[in-house]
Structure 1
Amino acid sequence: MTEKQPVVGSAGPDDPSRVQQDNLSRSLSARQVQMIAIGGTIGTGLFLGTGNALATGGPASMLIAYAISGGIVFVTMLSLGEMAAFIPVAGSFCTFAGRFVDDAFGFALTWNYWFNDAVSTAADLVALQLVLQYWSENFPGWAFSLIFWAVLIGLNLFSVKVYGEVEYWMSLLKVITIVIYVFIILGIVVNCGGNESGHYIGGENWHILDAPFVGGIGGFASVFVTAAFAYGGTESIAITAGETKDPARTIPKVVLNVFWRILIFYILSSLIIGLNVPYNYADLANKDVKTSPFTIVFEMTGTKAAGSVMNAVIMTSVLSAGNHALFAGVRLLYTLAVSGHAPKVFAKLNRQQVPWVAVLATGFVSGLCFGSSKIGAGQLWTWLQNIVGVSNQLSWISIGITSIRFRSALKAQNKTHLLPFQNFTYPYGPWISVILNCVIVLVQGWSCFSPRFDGVSFVSFYVELPIMLVMFLGWKLFKRTRVVRLHEVDLETDTYTLEDGVERKGIQGRIRGFVNWIV
């Protein structure tokens, strides 16, 4: 497989994808991209979100919702990896939406996801305050969050190599310390009696009071937005394609290897948490979630220091997730600028080929959202979690629609054979993902209406829907855009293809690779 030079397609020499290809530096290695993909999603949603999910839906609802959401994201990542390996640009699925469907669709999706990343960064900074409260209620968490906000902006102003290396080591720390060896093994030990009281817990927390399903259908439905928040960021790894070495090789490896690990980590972690921590635990059964269930499990060993160590690692994980979200948001604002959907000033690069104006603008919006924490960090974090979760689901729906259009255009132009990586679930996977996501988005706000209407929660669950619709219709009417015809879809610019005679990996090869990874 060789890296082809960008070919000017039907869009002409000023095509936005070509601008992205020529200006951004391809400096991220496969090692860095793999770890960024893991670290970017193992953060606030897993460590604090699981506590919220357990309290509102119970252990069974949490486990099922995380499993279903994980399956949806897996199909979404296969679809996205297929497109990103073929056309690796910085805007990724947001660029694809405008290129394969409608410019107005791409406009609305990109602005929506940029705001998603800015809010995600703010949510991580608010979560940092909650994590710090573990040691002291009077701890000036806002001051530390402000300091780290400035640090994150500074990191993203350096070369992408610096960002990639910092993110690699921070992600490696939390993956090794928390998920792979320590938490899963310790959680099993605690459940089997290796806790402070020496009591065998087993599955008793699944039978207390309203468990395993808490809050009925409303509680079960509400867990999906928490799961979407937790898995959010997985899809944004494709945004690094514009700055990844040999993306036609690297992106497929990331999609196939990393997501399986994340899926296993999330499902095992949610199972262990549901077994060990009762849903009515004091620090979980209220809106101001302050303690991570991961920390609670460590505390159950009877050693206070263990809980503090775990909480410290969670703190670094939260910062890593915020760093990842800010990076992705900056690249999307850059994409908006070079495509004419935002002022050109956001496309300005510094000597390290980093869009520095976009860094400052995205960081500023994150700072505004973070500044709202004066209303109560716990309550604000819940609202931000809902907004980001719904935004993630809208992105997954959009990726599914874009993937279907992409494959249809390839077939119409007889270019399917050029794909360096193929989504083996097509066409059923993308269609199931789109339909299932649409149903979940509509019903997950059930708790807003019962037992009484909650206006603030209703807004946090559904405000993204009219905003994205208005942006789509507004740009469509203003620019008079139309759905791109299949024969007009640009499938040449920035395309990477397989050399003749190079054998593709079929489903059997993928299964063998996965088995080898497990072994």
Structure 2
Amino acid sequence: MSAPTTKPFAGYGSINAPSSGDSLRDDPDAPSQTRGALHRGLSARQVQMIAIAGTIGTGLFLGTGRSLAQGGPASMLICYSVVGFIVYVTLLLLGEMATQYPVAGSFNAYATRFFSPAYGFALSWNYWFNDAISVASDLTAAQLVLDFWDIPNPWIFSLALWVFLLSINALHVKAYGELEYWLSSLKIATIVVFILLGILVNVGVNREHRFVGFENWSIPGAPFVGGFGGFAHVFVTASFAYGGTESLGITAGETENPGRNMPRVVKFVFWRCIIYVVLIINAVPWDYPNLSNEGATTSPFTIIFKQFGSTAAASIMNTVVLSSVISAGNHALFAGTRVLYGLAQASQAPSLFAWTTRGGVPLPALLLTSSFSALCFGSSFVGSGQLWAWLQNLVGVSNQIAWLSIGIASWRFRAAWKTQGRPLSEMKFRARWTWPWGPAFVIAAVSAIILIQGWSSVSFYIELPVMAFMYLLWLSVRRALRPLRSPLTVSQAASTSSITEATYPAAWSFFDFVDVSHVDLYRDEHEEAPFDKHEDEVRARRLRGRVGWVWALLYYIVA
């Protein structure tokens, strides 16, 4: 194994990206991909479909049932709406940075570059752990889904699924992208059917032939279940349901034409999820048998198909839920691998994990990340439902820390842009209506959620001291291992070739905040390749054609 051949940017991995489309990749005269770097192998078609289905995952299919059982319909609607809007603004902020600097590591890299290397170190390791645990959570969720058919020894399926996902991700980024494309297509088609059936069930086309309306809001215990504790708990499950959307920014390093495609990724997250939630809380009562308990969790989506009167349809829906679990595990494994690769590129993890195959796959990082999925087999001892609930809580809080960090990174990124006098017109994508309040809103709102949800369980605070420990660990290790060569501060060194070359002062300090006036805002900016410009021309030509209004509607909805 050889060390990476490309030079990392100040924080996270560099991308060897000579190609930006199938036509260029097939061109024998095009520059070849080299070993030791990621490849831009995700097409616009794949990224757009992944983005459309980004909020349709394990958290939505299974987590909504747990939310409804623990908090009731009112708590669920309020929490999912609040968290959804926060996530929408957060993704817009991430889109600004990911479009300008489409690098591996995404928001972890931006936190390192614009805020604090020590905080970026702690955040990256926390988010890597989040993705690794997410794989275990999804494999455990697969066993819960299989309970619908009373399949014995479901852990065997989890083992086979683990091997399958590992194999797909070990091939090439295009293999990951293609699997996600078809699984996302299946989810989209099913969701369309679910919306139609959900409306029909609600208006009376169900086994009892009765109009449901808002009846489930007035049954005993509703609309708020479990008091304020239940309400606070739903914030975590809502965060789990929206979780993973922020990791789409990690794909920026391997996305074709990120200047055009990344802004599309961050659109329409909020209203898609809210439609599903409204249908669920109206059609499914909070006290439905086995909706959520220590031994099992039933998907509200499957329940609605069953209420429609077709056991076969319910089985089909359960199959789709299973495919969603596979998709979520596939994405978590991909994202976790890239985060660990980025850490190694920044010298914040052993250099072994920065090694890639000729196909651009960080194989050592993939193997370590996938190894944590062994947690799923603990379900044989504590019960799949209980284990999945534990893992869901860990992932939910970790998602919130990620959103908070995006807000902090965006605040410092915008401050650097204004401090150094760069015109806003040079930004490749700008969410105008979020200026200047966007970052402050995300920081305050997510901090409030993290504090409020602790009302239901102190265990939700467990990741905060872990983050603090990792932060202090990085400060201690850097000062202990690197000799003092000059009185440069971290802020001054941030404008040099790599943040890992920063020389720390002799005096101990609990902070290593980056001075935004010294950040190089031109390094690692995306430059459009010929194929990127060709794609924009094709889009413009379609909009000018006879059926331009059809293309305009399609682009508005899905692109």
Q: With the length of structure 2 as denominator, give the TM-score of the two structures.
A: 0.83
Mapping for residues 18-167 of structure 1, pairs under 5 Å: 19-22=13-16, 23-136=37-150, 138-167=151-180
Deviation (angstroms), 1:187:
0.6
- Calculate the aligned-residue CA RMSD, in Å: 2.1
| Structure 1: segments with no counterpart, 5+ residues | 1-11, 449-457, 504-511
Residue in 2 aligned with 1:493?
A: 523
Rounded to whole Å, the distance in 2 between the matches of 1:433 and 1:242 is: 24
Rounded to whole Å, the distance in 2 between the matches of 1:475 and 1:19 is: 19
Residue in 1 aligned with 2:445?
A: 436
Given residue 53 of structure 1, which amino acid in structure 2 is its aligned partner? S
Q: Deviations over 1:334-366 (max 9, x none)?
A: 001110000011111112011011111100012
Moved over 4 A (4+): 16-19, 512-516
Given residue 193 of structure 2, which amino acid in structure 1 is its aligned partner? V
Rounded to whole Å, the distance in 1 between the matches of 2:348 and 2:248 is: 22
Give the counterpart of 1:412 among 416, 419, 438: 419
Q: Deviations over 1:4-40 (max 9, x none)?
A: xxxxxxxx96535685223211111111111122334
> Which range moved further: 228-237 or 285-294?
285-294
Rounded to whole Å, the distance in 2 between the matches of 1:18 and 1:376 is: 39
| Structure 2: segments with no counterpart, 5+ residues | 1-5, 17-36, 480-489, 491-511, 537-550
Q: Report SS of the residue matched to 1:490.
A: coil
Rounded to whole Å, the distance in 1 between the matches of 2:198 and 2:255 is: 37
Rounded to whole Å, the distance in 1 between the matches of 2:73 and 2:220 is: 12
The alpha-carbon distance between structure 1 residues 16 and 486, as it changes in their structure 2 partners (threshold 3 A), is closer
Given residue 193 of structure 1, which amino acid in structure 2 is its aligned partner? G
Deviation (angstroms), 1:210:
1.6
Residue in 1 aligned with 2:462?
A: 463
The alpha-carbon distance between structure 1 residues 392 and 27, as it changes in their structure 2 partners (threshold 3 A), is same
Residue in 1 aligned with 2:289?
A: 282
More relative contact order in 1 or in 2 (CA 8 Å, sep 6+)? 1
Q: Tell whether 2:305 aligns with 1:295.
A: no
Q: With the length of structure 1 as denominator, give the TM-score of the two structures.
A: 0.89
Rounded to whole Å, the distance in 2 between the matches of 1:473 and 1:107 is: 10
The alpha-carbon distance between structure 1 residues 391 and 18, as it changes in their structure 2 partners (threshold 3 A), is closer
Q: Deviations over 1:111-145 (max 9, x none)?
A: 01001001111100000000000010x52210000
Rounded to whole Å, the distance in 2 between the matches of 1:378 and 1:75 is: 32
Q: Deviations over 1:418-446 (max 9, x none)?
A: 21001220221221111111111011132
Aligned 8 A contact 2:140 2:379 in 1: yes
Q: Which protein has the larger Cα radius of gyration, Structure 1 or Structure 2? A: 2
Rounded to whole Å, the distance in 2 between the matches of 1:143 and 1:516 is: 42
Give the counterpart of 2:202 among 191, 196, 203: 191
Q: Deviations over 1:159-200 (max 9, x none)?
A: 1111111110111101111x2x21111011011110011111
Deviation (angstroms), 1:371:
2.3
Amino-acid identity (%): 52
Q: Deviations over 1:209-264 (max 9, x none)?
A: 121111111111110100000101101111011111121121112223xxx1x322
Deviation (angstroms), 1:412:
1.2
The alpha-carbon distance between structure 1 residues 445 and 186, as it changes in their structure 2 partners (threshold 3 A), is same
Residue in 2 aligned with 1:362?
A: 369
Deviation (angstroms), 1:286:
2.4
Residue in 2 aligned with 1:341?
A: 348
Residue in 2 aligned with 1:506?
A: none
> Which range moved further: 282-291 or 239-248?
282-291
Q: Report SS of the residue matched to 2:253.
A: helix
How many residue pairs match? The answer is: 480
Residue in 1 aligned with 2:514?
A: 484
The alpha-carbon distance between structure 1 residues 383 and 19, as it changes in their structure 2 partners (threshold 3 A), is closer
Rounded to whole Å, the distance in 1 between the matches of 2:557 and 2:525 is: 32
Residue in 1 aligned with 2:547?
A: none
Aligned 8 A contact 1:49 1:226 in 2: yes
Rounded to whole Å, the distance in 1 between the matches of 2:143 and 2:161 is: 11
Q: Tell whether 2:366 aligns with 1:372.
A: no
The alpha-carbon distance between structure 1 residues 402 and 390, as it changes in their structure 2 partners (threshold 3 A), is same
Q: Report SS of the residue matched to 1:302.
A: coil
Q: Tell whether 2:467 aligns with 1:473.
A: no
Deviation (angstroms), 1:497:
6.2
